[in-house]
Chains A and B, each alone.
Chain A
């Protein structure tokens, strides 16, 4: 039995890794090629990225399984290799020598009506299928991340809990800064959404992607300082979409352990290719400012953050 959950609860704050997809792109992953394909065809590149994060100081590495669910793999004609893709990705992450390996569970990429034609029951089957494969691999935790619809996040969480009740689950949503606060594109408000997720029993809840570290710092402080209770949040978050009014309602995940993984600012096209604007020192400074809160259990980076960002943050951690 892994001590991941103990470590998460006891501290010190766990250092996660940074961007994986953006690092693969920097190593030549071509436009339109799913990162999952590199698990099979360029395993040495994945090992190299994972190792670079371990060397930079990451305690935990996300396996390259973000898009390795049936809904996404089917788009690329890779559905028949779903088991091999998930298993190999975990093995490659393990080979990095990281203390902990986290199976990454990304969204289906579909949306519920009226935005799309998604279906919660079908999504649940996809998450169950991916979890059944991953639960038999040597992982320490799941991380459901970059979710924009609290209903999909809850569906994924429910599937993981059913398949693998003993494996801890982190769960993060992607919020945007709007005039009236932080919301997902589907209109799920920050505090009530995290309260709803926390009530469903994950090991930690939080936010990833969507914004750079200065905004993420503001988001984290709002979660940490919100006076509302989980109960009111659970009520006002009902329905997810079309709940814009809930933005003003109190609601925060009381007592929840928290995880934050911001991006490295906006990508810019330059003569030498794609560059992210942010300085690793600013990223480390913003996230280190959250360390005085014991509930902040894990920090890391999302798109565009590289081992320099993780190393800069490592230097600020106790």
Chain B
């Protein structure tokens, strides 16, 4: 079997080719090579490039999502073969995500979840119209590093403040970070309520990475 180049792995993600990404990931495993290397040196570079192309205005929502789907297919194939310790090393953190109660807008939140997954976070997506208590319960259950809440409507933004208060009041032994986003939100609003803010799905990845430092 010819050697698989890292660039090939990256390209499958850049092309948004889910089948090719999965095929390459399997071939990589069959060749006995290190799965972590395929992720870090290959596929992850692809999703980074997808993000750049989106920010440059070359890619739009469909290409961004296709790239993330290809990345997820590769991760699903490779991660089970990492072994527990190294899977932990490969995971960037655990995120509980949802759109706040009263808000049915799903697409932005789902995109953030998809991108976080593609970048190696473990994501638990609660969907839309999620009550505060459900965020808190899931965060407790999953021992979430980040609780991420989207609000597209100005009327539902207030729930993000309540979420910050509820997570604080829950008194976890660890301190989950709160990440907010959505069309209605601003950095000023996030600062006021004591949360991290991301203006789009790519920024969400960057903010999630940096706030877990």
- Decide if B58 is an interface residue (CB 8 Å cutoff): yes
Closest to B53 in A: A244
- Decide if B59 is an interface residue (CB 8 Å cutoff): yes
Which residues from 32 to 66 on chain B have a C-beta closer than 8 Å to any C-beta of chain A?
A: 55-63, 65-66
- Decide if B212 is an interface residue (CB 8 Å cutoff): no
Complex CA–CA separation, A267 to B154 (angstroms) = 7
Which one of A128-136, A179-187, A286-294, A305-313 contacts B?
A179-187
- Decide if A242 is an interface residue (CB 8 Å cutoff): yes
Complex CA–CA separation, A181 to B60 (angstroms) = 13
Chain B residues, Cβ within 8 Å of A181:
57
B213 to chain A, nearest CB (A): 28
Q: Flag if A115 contacts B61 (CB, 8 Å).
A: yes
Which one of B2-10, B19-27, B76-84, B97-105 contacts A?
B97-105
- Decide if B124 is an interface residue (CB 8 Å cutoff): no
- Decide if B156 is an interface residue (CB 8 Å cutoff): yes
Complex CA–CA separation, A25 to B184 (angstroms) = 14
Complex CA–CA separation, A31 to B162 (angstroms) = 14
Q: Flag if A30 contacts B102 (CB, 8 Å).
A: yes
Chain B residues, Cβ within 8 Å of A242:
60, 62-63
One of B57, B60, B69, B102 near A179 (C-beta < 8 A): B57
- Decide if A225 is an interface residue (CB 8 Å cutoff): no
Closest to A75 in B: B104
Closest to A268 in B: B186
The contact string, 1 if C-beta is below 8 Å from chain B, for chain A 264-302, is: 001111000010000000000000000000000000000
Complex CA–CA separation, A114 to B65 (angstroms) = 7
Interface size on B, residues (CB 8 A): 31
Complex CA–CA separation, A29 to B129 (angstroms) = 16
- Decide if A178 is an interface residue (CB 8 Å cutoff): yes
Closest to A275 in B: B154
Q: Flag if B57 contacts A32 (CB, 8 Å).
A: no
A102 to chain B, nearest CB (A): 24
Q: Flag if B61 contacts A187 (CB, 8 Å).
A: yes
- Decide if B210 is an interface residue (CB 8 Å cutoff): no
Chain B residues, Cβ within 8 Å of A184:
60
Chain B residues, Cβ within 8 Å of A75:
104
- Decide if B107 is an interface residue (CB 8 Å cutoff): yes
One of B61, B65, B104, B184 near A32 (C-beta < 8 A): B104
Complex CA–CA separation, A181 to B56 (angstroms) = 11
One of A32, A186, A274 near B101 (C-beta < 8 A): A32
B12 to chain A, nearest CB (A): 15
One of B62, B153, B188 near A31 (C-beta < 8 A): B153
A239 to chain B, nearest CB (A): 10
Q: Flag if B65 contacts A115 (CB, 8 Å).
A: yes
B108 to chain A, nearest CB (A): 10
Chain A residues, Cβ within 8 Å of B155:
25, 29-31, 274
Are A178 and B129 also in contact (CB < 8 A) when A75-B104, A111-B107 are? no
A45 to chain B, nearest CB (A): 15
Closest to A240 in B: B62
Q: Flag if A244 contacts B57 (CB, 8 Å).
A: yes
Closest to B159 in A: A31
Chain A residues, Cβ within 8 Å of B104:
32, 75
Are A185 and B61 also in contact (CB < 8 A) when A32-B129, A116-B107 are? yes
Chain A residues, Cβ within 8 Å of B60:
183-187, 241-242, 244
Chain B residues, Cβ within 8 Å of A269:
154, 157-158, 189, 192
- Decide if A247 is an interface residue (CB 8 Å cutoff): yes
Q: Flag if A244 contacts B101 (CB, 8 Å).
A: no
Q: Flag if B62 contacts A115 (CB, 8 Å).
A: yes
Closest to B184 in A: A267
B36 to chain A, nearest CB (A): 28
Q: Flag if B156 contacts A32 (CB, 8 Å).
A: yes
The contact string, 1 if C-beta is below 8 Å from chain B, for chain A 31-44, is: 11000000000000
Known: A31-B155, A32-B104. 17 other contacts (CB 8 A): A30-B102, A31-B159, A114-B69, A180-B56, A181-B57, A186-B62, A187-B62, A187-B63, A241-B60, A242-B62, A247-B57, A266-B186, A268-B186, A268-B188, A269-B154, A269-B157, A269-B158
Listed in ascending order, the chain B residues whose CB lies under 8 Å from chain A are: 16, 55-63, 65-66, 69, 101-104, 107, 129, 153-159, 184, 186, 188-189, 192
